[in-house]
Chain A
């Protein structure tokens, strides 16, 4: 009996045995999703799209604020090299990310080939892919000029010869045309959801199209001022005859977005400067913002703008803060409430012939309220605390007493007095307000945003409605419709708090340039605007010219950043005791004047790229 049982057991174990080897090894992975698995579930497709959104190349953004000091908008309080370079490198601002383009192309192809997604999901994802691709090409053409247009994923056949994958550069106008036509094609597929700020929408497609058409139009129009910035086959440079059509496209699309009524200018806070600052801070039902890169605390996606730019007087993190100081060049560009331009009234001719102010902020009182929405001026309050900017004391005999530590106390006639502000400025003291100002735009006023462990979730605004209005105004102006332009400018300027409307006759090219300069400061527009107007080599011309006295003029050179240092009068018993005076200062750290060479208009395509694809031609003047 026992034997029978044993043999039965033996038989049993033999018959079951191991599975087929191939089947045994074929276990479904628990941590890798295959392509067809991803493209069968809309939530997974969204995460693939999120990765592509996350990789949108932005040159200037709060998370990369250092470059804001590369031109003339800000002094880099610590990164002084930015003011000690004369030439911009031809390699600066370059971009050649065809890996990104390829992944977008793959994304579009896989969405289109997916069988288990609903038709509505497929359409929306494919349109989002096309937006991302158009946006990437827009970014490429802004920086490099015409680039090879690759609109499908390329695959190497391992034949040993990859030359069939080489594509020459398209014309600059062809890339702009591609961007414009793609955005036009997808705008009605994308949802009309103005509260969706992080994904492509109808509004974003239109806003982006307006910007692209305007850029192309102004390159066509102003390219005649720089005839050498062109290539014979049009890889760089757009014929002047195309300008009108581009401007018309820009105006028509802007009007389509405006009449759709989906967005409006942000008008919530009664204080105009606070209202302007809040455009960038208010994430709840913000009617103006169209497209952002969003950040979220405790999610890993945070940035250090507030940490590195908090006023030093109220820093939450030891020696951190104050790195970016708005320049006097920008500050004096904000016009007066009567629409006139003037340098700040700090003296009556000579530097020591001061004009006295009761409070430091009085100097800026009659200026465009956007000034104090963009910049923290001396005397301003941030996070409910004074930021305490003053460079020293002016004593009874006119001499200046200052210190070398923030908030330093020194005896004056036997009395211990604070001789320098808790935020400085002190020459060469990193993070002190060496420019005389601190940042308000993008600067997070939430308590804790200045701590390394918390940081900031202020979003990076890429498109907002005010820019669409300014684009519409510029396109209308270029088309000779000054009255239309004045109407759009009025919307933006009324919201800003300027009460006197510009007449159509007052709308000039200088006005357009000025309005963008002050409304869109630090918002990743300055460089691209100066490039498309072909003004960059005029304004950053390498001359060591003084700070301009005509801040409203577009062609005035501005090659070095100037500072404005406030001083407190210390003269107990004197008439001006405790009053404030100001001096214009050129920091000793600013040793060179910027020169934007003609070869900087389009960044360098490196030798490595040309080695891989000899059909690529070099950019002009390099």
Chain B
């Protein structure tokens, strides 16, 4: 009996002390910034992140640390306001935008793989990443009229050449109870197909009447999104709080 208690205590002791030599310093350097076009942030779909599922983000960047032979990417999700932030070890990294990510063009190499950007992390770093979006959404105005939400926006085609330019698939106005408002999270919406848009500079959408909100609240959030033909990720205007 005595022996087993002693053993138990010994085990407990081992468990409590652990091995100090194995412990690494945690990463401490913050790498943060925004996706921008000429200094203006690019707004996208909100991330609905599942635990342990790191390719689950609508748009993400990849960082590759150069120091090691066995390489595996670090994925950095972009938030709906266009910002990102990641805790990293100091070192030299390469940043890429993987294929098919984001409503923008990313430079490509001669071998048609995504071009990379050298990033040196030495302490925290803030950096805006300049990208070339297909379109920009300008002058969004969203208003409420008898529980019908109306939005107007002007679409500016940024990439105009025939090879890379894309047409508009649709413009949508989304309304939700929370600030997470996009194609996947909406209470009410209005769609306008690209073919029905007469003037890109002046697009107007109006939703149907909002249903009663349960529990009731006197405001909603809204934003306008643009779906580009053949591009998965949409571009959004800033989220606006609308008082009903």
Q: Using CB atoms and an 8 Å cutoff, list the residues of chain A in contact with chain B.
A: 81, 84-87, 89-91, 227-228, 232, 542-544, 592-593, 595, 597-599, 604, 606-608, 611, 618, 620-622
Contact = CB atoms under 8 A, between A and B. Distances in A.
Interface string B96-107: 001110000000
A608 B55 contact: no
A542 B55 contact: no
Most buried by A among B53, B73, B230: B53
Interface in B39-82: 48, 50, 53, 55-58, 69-73
Contact of B56 (A85, A620, A622): A85
20 contacts: A84-B48, A85-B48, A87-B48, A87-B56, A89-B53, A89-B56, A91-B55, A232-B112, A543-B183, A544-B183, A544-B184, A544-B185, A544-B186, A598-B100, A607-B73, A611-B72, A620-B99, A621-B232, A622-B99, A622-B100
A595 B73 CA distance: 23
B232 to A, nearest CB: 6
A578 B69 CA distance: 72
Interface in B188-244: 230, 232
A587 to B, nearest CB: 15
Contacts of A598: 100, 232
A89 B48 CA distance: 12
Given A598-B232, A611-B72, A620 B100 contact: yes
A216 B152 CA distance: 46
A597 B184 contact: no
B100 A228 contact: yes
Interface in B151-176: none
B10 to A, nearest CB: 37
A621 B59 CA distance: 11
A543 B58 CA distance: 14
Given A598-B232, A620-B99, A622-B99, A86 B184 contact: yes
A542 B184 contact: yes
A552 B72 CA distance: 44
A227 B229 CA distance: 12
A599 B99 CA distance: 9
A595 B184 contact: yes
A606 B72 CA distance: 8
B50 A81 contact: yes
B99 A621 contact: yes
What 7 A-B pairs have minimum CB-CB distances, sorted nearest first? A621-B100, A607-B72, A90-B55, A86-B48, A89-B53, A87-B56, A611-B70
Main secondary structure of the interface of A (DSSP, over half): loop
A592 B50 CA distance: 12
A311 B164 CA distance: 56
Contacts of B186: 544
Nearest to B98: A622
A618 B101 CA distance: 14
Interface of B: 48, 50, 53, 55-58, 69-73, 98-100, 112, 183-186, 230, 232
A87 B100 contact: no
A597 B57 contact: no
Contacts of A81: 50
Nearest to B234: A542
B72 A85 contact: no
A134 B204 CA distance: 56
A595 to B, nearest CB: 7
Contact of B55 (A227, A228, A544, A622): A622
A608 B69 CA distance: 11
A608 B68 CA distance: 13
Contacts of B232: 597-598, 621
A608 B56 contact: no
A459 B112 CA distance: 48
Contacts of A87: 48, 55-58
Contact of B184 (A592, A618, A621): A592
Contacts of A604: 55
Contacts of B100: 228, 597-599, 620-622
B116 to A, nearest CB: 14
A595 B50 CA distance: 14
Given A86-B56, A597-B100, A611-B69, 9 more contacts: A87-B55, A87-B57, A228-B230, A543-B184, A593-B184, A598-B100, A604-B55, A607-B73, A621-B99
B157 to A, nearest CB: 20
Contacts of A85: 48, 50, 53, 56
B71 A607 contact: yes
Nearest to B64: A607
A618 B99 contact: yes
Nearest to A617: B113
Contacts of B53: 85, 89, 91
A473 B23 CA distance: 63
Nearest to A607: B72
A606 B48 CA distance: 22
Contacts of B185: 544, 592
Contacts of A607: 71-73
A228 to B, nearest CB: 7
Contacts of B50: 81, 84-85, 89
B183 A542 contact: yes
A86 B47 CA distance: 9
Nearest to A593: B184
Contacts of A543: 183-184
Contacts of A91: 53, 55
A620 B99 CA distance: 7
B168 to A, nearest CB: 17
Given A598-B232, A620-B99, A621-B100, A608 B72 contact: yes
Contacts of B99: 599, 618, 620-622
A594 B31 CA distance: 31
Most buried by A among B50, B53, B184: B184
A60 B52 CA distance: 22
Nearest to A621: B100
